[in-house]
Amino acid sequence: MITVTAFKWVPPFARGLVRDLRVRWALEEAGIPYRTKLLDLGEQKGEENRALQPFGQVPGYIDDEVRLFESGAIVLHIGERCEALLPMDPAGRARAIAWLISALNSIEPMVQDLGGLSAFFANEEWAKLRRPSLEATVRTRLGELAAALGTKDYLDGRFTAGDLMMTTVLRIKRDVVEEVPPLRAYLARCEARPAFERALAAQLSDFEQR
């Protein structure tokens, strides 16, 4: 049985955003059962978890063959067993991987910075000065993403691991994302997938068990 590490509790604003959601969603798309190992806040920094996740974070992933950290690497590993996530044709597979990496490299860092600014530093003077330029940068990048999406339902025409990762990144600052109509529709479309709904419900359910 696959084991995924996740937090036992996080503040309400972070629920549905913790990165183990990406792994749960990939497993749901692949139809692969899993269990969670829930960590108390602070426990992720302990020696046992660092043996799996060197940076003291979640998620970690264990199956019969591998022990993995980093959500992108884990989703790609799961995708090796699921044609719905990574197409079998080489070109489609390469594009799916490219979109997954672009979500993590070209979109997430700036969206995460803006989200952190809003959640933790909104009243700080330096944050007030930084926010306009950061928002402008995020909006420019989201416009580029919307242009690449065009009129397609998904980034490469069909749902792949690239869409899975991009959706979880866009959810970090959905109020800004939803200002862009094509991305608002795209986000809603991806979140309507039954596998996403099951993954989100599972994460939220784990938080309620505390």
pLDDT at 146: 98
pLDDT at 210: 57
Output the CA torsion 160→165→168→171 (10° steps): -90
User: In angstroms, rounded to a whole number, what is the distance separating the alpha carbons of residues 204 and 88?
Assistant: 33
Query: What are the residue ranges in the chain where pLDDT is below 70?
Result: 210
- Give pLDDT tens digits for 27-54: 999 999 999 999 998 999 999 999 999 9
pLDDT at 89: 95
Q: Residue 137 is encoded by which pair of tokens?
A: 């940068």
- Give pLDDT tens digits for 190-210: 999 999 999 999 999 999 875
Spans of all domains in the chain: 2-84+195-208, 90-193
- Kind of pairing, strands 67-69 and 2-7? unpaired
Question: What CA–CA distances, in Å, run from 60 to 44, 51, 52, 54, 131?
Answer: 10, 10, 6, 10, 33
Residue 194 identity: P
In the CATH hierarchy, which fold is given to the domain comprising 90-193? Glutathione S-transferase Yfyf (Class Pi); Chain A, domain 2 (1.20.1050)
pLDDT at 122: 79
Superfamily of chain region 2-84+195-208: Glutaredoxin (3.40.30.10)
Give residue for tokens 């190992």: 37
Q: Supply the DSSP symbol for 70.
A: S
